[in-house]
């Protein structure tokens, strides 16, 4: 049986370690730091739960925070830029190394594919006048299956 990305990454402890390292660095970043100036003290844990669920772990984010529609709402009206998007990814990938996430090409390919897809969606949904769908299901990301992120 093929493990989920969640299990391969190391589960909740690994994703929480990643997001804790990442969001500790974010405030000092001149490009993306201002976006998180009023960050909830539990932001890292919330994002770890979201990514964990996307990677086919337990549905914690949906149960505790409202699922994918709530994550979309967090980005509405932020007018995120391409430069901010790419900086967010670069910093997160640097932190993935420090957090000890698996470095094998298969995992990193799936991880980067999700970051690219999710961050591009966030930019689109954040633009003035955007009307994102607030009934989209939680993505379920895997090892590159044909059919995109919404496969079961």
- 11-25 vs 82-99: helix axis angle to the nearest 10? 130
The domain that contains 31 carries what CATH number?
A: 1.10.490.10
In angstroms, the CA 97 to CA 68 distance is 27
In angstroms, the CA 117 to CA 62 distance is 20
Query: Is the residue at 131 inside a domain?
Result: no
Query: Is the residue at 89 inside a domain?
Result: yes
pTM (predicted TM-score) = 0.92
Give DSSP secondary structure letters for 91-145.
HHHHHHHHHT----HHHHHHHHHHHHHHHHHHHHHHSTT----TTPPPP---SS-
In angstroms, the CA 76 to CA 74 distance is 6
- The 3-state DSSP class for residue 53 equals helix
Query: Is the residue at 137 inside a domain?
Result: no
Cβ–Cβ < 8 Å for 39, 23? yes
Query: Is the residue at 143 inside a domain?
Result: no
Give DSSP secondary structure letters for 4-38.
PHHHHHTHHHHHHHHHHHHHHHGGG-TTTGGGGTT
Give, for all 152 residues of the chain, the pLDDT tens digit: 899 999 999 999 999 999 999 999 999 999 999 999 898 999 999 999 999 999 999 999 999 999 888 888 888 989 999 999 999 999 999 999 999 999 999 999 999 999 999 999 999 999 999 998 888 889 999 998 644 555 44
The parent domain of residue 47 ranges over 5-126
Q: How far is CA 103 from the centre of its chain?
A: 18
Looking at the structure of the chain, the number of domains it has is 1
In angstroms, the CA 73 to CA 122 distance is 10
Query: Is the residue at 133 inside a domain?
Result: no
- pLDDT, residue 150, reads 52
Query: Is the residue at 135 inside a domain?
Result: no
Query: Is the residue at 144 inside a domain?
Result: no
Q: Identify the helix (H) or strand (E) that includes residue 90.
A: helix 82-99
Query: Is the residue at 35 inside a domain?
Result: yes
């Amino acid at each position: 049986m093929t493990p989920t990305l969640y299990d391969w990454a190391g589960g909740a402890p690994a994703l929480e370690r990643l997001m804790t390292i990442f969001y500790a660095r974010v405030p000092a970043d001149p490009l993306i730091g201002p976006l998180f100036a009023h960050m909830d003290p539990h932001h890292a844990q919330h994002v770890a739960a979201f990514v964990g669920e996307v990677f086919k772990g337990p549905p914690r984010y949906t149960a505790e925070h409202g699922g994918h529609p709530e994550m979309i709402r967090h980005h509405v009206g932020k007018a995120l830029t391409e430069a901010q998007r790419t900086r967010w990814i670069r910093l997160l990938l640097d932190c993935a190394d420090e957090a000890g996430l698996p470095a094998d090409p298969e995992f990193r390919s799936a991880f980067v594919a999700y970051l690219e897809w999710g961050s591009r969606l966030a930019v689109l949904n954040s633009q003035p006048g955007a009307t994102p769908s607030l009934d989209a299901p939680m993505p379920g990301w895997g090892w590159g299956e044909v059919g995109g992120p919404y496969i079961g």
